[in-house]
Amino acid sequence: MYPIIRKRILSDIVKLFEVQAPLVACKAQPGQFVIVRIDETGERIPLTIADFDAQTGVITLIFQEVGKSTTQMGLLEVGDCFANIAGPLGRPTEIANFGTVVMVGGGVGIAPTFPITRSLKQAGNHVISIIGARNENLLFWQDRMERYSDEVIVCTDDGSAGRKALVTEPLKEILSSRNDVARVWAIGPAIMMRFATKTTQPFNVHTIVSLNTIMIDGTGMCGGCRVVLNQGAKFVCVDGPEFDAHQVDWENLLSRLSFYKAEEKVAMDHWNSHRCKLDPAISAAEKEAQELAKASSEGEPAGEAVIHA
Amino acid sequence: MPKKTIIPLRNPMPEQPPLERVHNFNEVTYGYSAEQAIAEARRCLECAKPGCKAGCPVNVDIRSFLERIEEGDFRSAIDIIKLTNALPAITGRVCPQEVQCEETCLLAKKYEPVAIGRLERFVADWEASEGLSNNPRQVKPSGKKVAVVGSGPAGLTVAADLARTGHQVTIFEALHASGGVLSYGIPEFRLPKSIVKREVDYVCSLGVEIKHDFIVGNTATVDELLETYDAVFLGTGAGLPWFLGIPGENLGGVYSSNEYLTRSNLMKAYRFPDYDTPIAIGRRVVTIGGGNTAMDAARTALRLGAEESIIVYRRSRAEMPARAEEIHHAEQEGVQFHLLTSPLRFFGENGRLTGLECLKNELGEPDASGRRRPVPIADSNFRIETDVAIIAIGQSPSPLISKTTRDLQTAKDGIVTVDKTSMKTSKKGVFAGGDVVTGGATVIMAMGQAKIAASAINEYLETGSW
Ligand SMILES: Cc1cc2nc3c(=O)[nH]c(=O)nc-3n(C[C@H](O)[C@H](O)[C@H](O)COP(=O)(O)OP(=O)(O)OC[C@H]3O[C@@H](n4cnc5c(N)ncnc54)[C@H](O)[C@@H]3O)c2cc1C
Ligand SMILES: Cc1cc2nc3c(=O)[nH]c(=O)nc-3n(C[C@H](O)[C@H](O)[C@H](O)COP(=O)(O)OP(=O)(O)OC[C@H]3O[C@@H](n4cnc5c(N)ncnc54)[C@H](O)[C@@H]3O)c2cc1C
Ligand code: SF4
Ligand code: SF4
Ligand code: FES
């Protein structure tokens, strides 16, 4: 069992957990992920390791509530446990001094971008970060990104924070105005990564995306996570999750991601009706608890969630 | 010389009627009653040189255990089996008996062989129902520690044998459940998970610890394990699914058998939405392959609610590697067989599978495997409309461990190279057995190799010589 030792509500739908998972914490490297299972009936959910501390054995997970499993996960509290956390999985990011790099983190994708940004900065790169979200409420970790970037550009779709723009706009400006960008990382929703890929293509700059295909085992055993690249199919869990963006068949990726749409709705509806039957007051109580938690976390110094080595 | 009268036909196995069982995941066969078991055991001719024993990969003393059953002494019968077979409730159910012990049974020359597998299962189940499995003896701790990677039949067998000699054994398992293919691959209706659990519990009762969520190669490497453990056994199986490499293979709705069966068995998608993991049910499901895996997938499809389930296999029925009983059961349940048929390409709309184009074959000369080679017939193309396809054409060991372990030699397809008499790998202190050294094989082969490895590990821990 893997206990949650800290919970923070980053926005209505984005939550942060610090979880005791010492074996993962002491091995994790930027770019890797874990597979978690909430309980006996739960599915295996891939989540990026947003931060890790070998000393305390703690890993940080940040997730957005998009369906049944992540919504249920959002209801877990400090002291609750995950039934399983397996990892670290996937290949670590290649870290080196490339010169100038651009980090693009969209929405919950800011979380996986952070440890990579930190390592790239520590390796001596000139780091320009672009973080974006639909609105201010969905932004987080700007301060952490600032600490490890030479420049941070914030955008929101509605202009509630930073520039009113999609992350691809500043990305394009940077690539047009300077010719020393060695690599671009773009991490976020598949559709954002696809557009970032399109943006960098004409500039011929090496672009890396971290793919979030549907997974089961996460160890290379089922092939369910496969992605089509120019040279053929690869398993995201063991060959990735990072790939050369310009090789990815995005059409295939997006359609595979939406394959279980109908079932996802069934799962959510089934769970909701079950919950309501169990206790009609539960959602009201939950809401209150959430608000309380949010109020209390706002009182803390913003940002730094884990003291890392 | 046979001293008994010959009873030509075996006692039929009681089972769920086909039309009933395609709607549930309960075990297909119920097993013999004590009376049926005694009657079946009586068919044995008590040969002086029993062919049956020679046909069993672990040489179970079949004749003796059949005699004990005939006498009604089930306790002694199970004890005899367990001398060489650690998992009789499982092998009795899943061994390909018709090409092993039952093929070489004297009776099989003219009549139906003794139903050895069913009797093995009977006494194993009898023992479990008595609830008095032999209490593990207390053994003196050896002070040695062994790491076993993988909790499939190979890993469980090695762990039990080593724990019984007093070594401290830890099993490292990547998944959240124990049992390997027994848990994630073979469906409930063929091998109830309660039986797998019973065997796992027994191994744990010997003092073996199982660490789940531990992926050797990621969570720790074999080299790191060797810093704390005196020996390592690799029982990691053949988990890498093969694909066909034909167009359309990555459409939504095309599964590897590993994915399809893992969703259904391990993640219990057949109980969706009470369990979270979904699976595509499909109207017409096509499974490509002719082994146990293909049969399991095709029969699972019917139970999940598909209207039709079709097997596409490139050779003829005689070449199908699946257990005879599974092919028979699949036919009874209404699985259709397109034999001598090869898949050519998948078709789809909006990213989802809609059809499979196939080509007819005829049988040519025998190939390297000794089976007659399928030769395509020109212009015999035809199309099957389908919304779910399952590729069950085989698998090989995952490269995860060989890529992360220094000096571990592998051969073609990532098969770990071993000395077959000791199961020693090229790396000092590291042994391997089961599918990781053979490619996809059988439970009993995995167990047999694990037994060889366990005694070699004992010797190595005692002498320290490699
Ligand atoms: C390597 C990897 C790392 C990931 N890291 C994070 C992370 O750090 N934080 C985070 O919030 N999410 C992350 N994801 C995505 C996360 O796993 C999914 O959001 C989650 O599984 C959805 O489960 P659900 O039951 O809540 O939603 P569902 O009801 O299953 O799905 C709801 C919606 O989410 C989409 N979806 C389903 N599964 C996935 C998936 N695996 N990836 C992306 N979208 C999916 C569906 O297409 C659907 O539109 C990661 C995925 C991968 C493969
Ligand atoms: C669907 C299906 C049906 C079958 N039907 C039959 C049948 O009827 N009769 C029969 O005799 N045989 C059958 N087989 C074959 C049989 O199941 C295998 O030969 C047998 O299970 C091999 O045992 P094993 O212990 O070598 O490996 P496995 O059973 O594959 O177990 C390997 C274990 O190691 C774990 N593992 C792998 N890599 C790592 C790692 N890096 N770190 C930690 N753990 C790891 C895996 O998760 C798994 O649990 C079938 C196989 C399949 C797939
Ligand atoms: S282990 Fe398999 S081959 Fe051997 S006797 Fe039992 S069923 Fe037959
Ligand atoms: S070969 Fe057949 S008849 Fe002879 S001892 Fe074995 S089971 Fe009995
Ligand atoms: S998730 Fe199963 S192979 Fe990648």
Q: How near does any CA of chain B get to the CA of A288, in Å?
A: 27
Structure tokens at A8: 């923070």
Interface contact flag, A86 B174, Cβ < 8 Å: yes
**For range B386-397, the mean pLDDT:** 96
Angstrom distances, CA of residue A91 to CA of A50, A246, B12? 15, 19, 53
Which residues, including other chains, have CB under 8 Å from residue B292's CB and lie 6 or more apart? Answer: B94, B186, B321, B322, B323, B326
Test site for ligand 2: of B100, B121, B181, B258, most ligand atoms within 8 A of the Cβ: B181
Confidence class for position B372, pLDDT limits 50, 70, 90: confident
Q: What is the largest CA-CA distance in chain A?
A: 60
Position A11 scores a pLDDT of 86
What ipTM was reported for this prediction? 0.93
- Give the strand pairing for B240-241 and B382-385: unpaired
Residue B95: closest CA among B325, B265, B330, B333: B325
DSSP symbol at B15: B
Position A305 scores a pLDDT of 36
More confident of the two residues B169 and B319: B169
SS3 A279: coil
Average pLDDT, chain B: 94
Point out the ligand nearest to the CA of residue A227. Answer: 5
Atom in ligand 5 nearest the alpha carbon of residue A224: 2
Position A284 scores a pLDDT of 55
- Which residue in chain A is spatially nearest to B252 when comparing CA positions? A256
Residue B28 has pLDDT above 80, yes or no: yes
More confident of the two residues B242 and B132: B242
Which residue shows structure tokens 């074996």? A23
Position A288 scores a pLDDT of 59
- Which residue in chain B is spatially nearest to A272 when comparing CA positions? B273
- Which residue in chain B is spatially nearest to A267 when comparing CA positions? B273
Are residues A214 and A225 in contact, defined by beta-carbon separation less than 8 angstroms?
Answer: yes
CA distance B278 to A258: 13
Position B57 scores a pLDDT of 92
From the list B219, B220, B276, which residue is nearest A267 (CB)? B276
Position A306 scores a pLDDT of 36
Task: Give the pLDDT confidence of A61-93 residue by residue, as tens digits.
Answer: 999 999 999 999 999 999 999 999 999 999 999
Residue A93 CA from chain centroid, whole number = 14
Proportion of chain B in helix, strand, coil states, percent, rounded to 5: 35, 20, 45
Point out the ligand nearest to the CA of residue B400. Answer: 2
DSSP symbol at B323: -
DSSP symbol at B350: T
Structure tokens at B262: 């893992």
Point out the ligand nearest to the CA of residue A89. Answer: 1
Residue B446: closest CA among B465, B433, B427, B456: B433
Position B4 scores a pLDDT of 78
Q: Locate all alpha helices (DSSP H) within B406-442, ordered by sequence.
A: 435-438
B178 touches chain A (CB under 8 A): no
Confidence class for position B168, pLDDT limits 50, 70, 90: very high
Position A238 scores a pLDDT of 96
Task: Give the pLDDT confidence of B143-166 residue by residue, as tens digits.
Answer: 999 999 999 999 999 999 999 999
Distance between terminal CA atoms of chain B? 46
More confident of the two residues A296 and B268: B268
CA distance A209 to A190: 9
Task: Give the pLDDT confidence of B298-318 residue by residue, as tens digits.
Answer: 999 999 999 999 999 999 998
**Residue ranges in chain A whose pLDDT is less than 70:** 276-309
SS3 B29: strand
Position B69 scores a pLDDT of 97
Position B371 scores a pLDDT of 82
Which residues, including other chains, have CB under 8 Å from residue B183's CB and lie 6 or more apart? Answer: B175, B177, B193, B196, B265, B266
Q: What are phi and psi of B163, to 5 degrees?
A: -65, -40
Which of B181, B250, B353 best probes binding to A when mutated, by most A CB atoms within 10 angstroms?
B250
C-alpha B399 to ligand 5 mean position (Å): 14
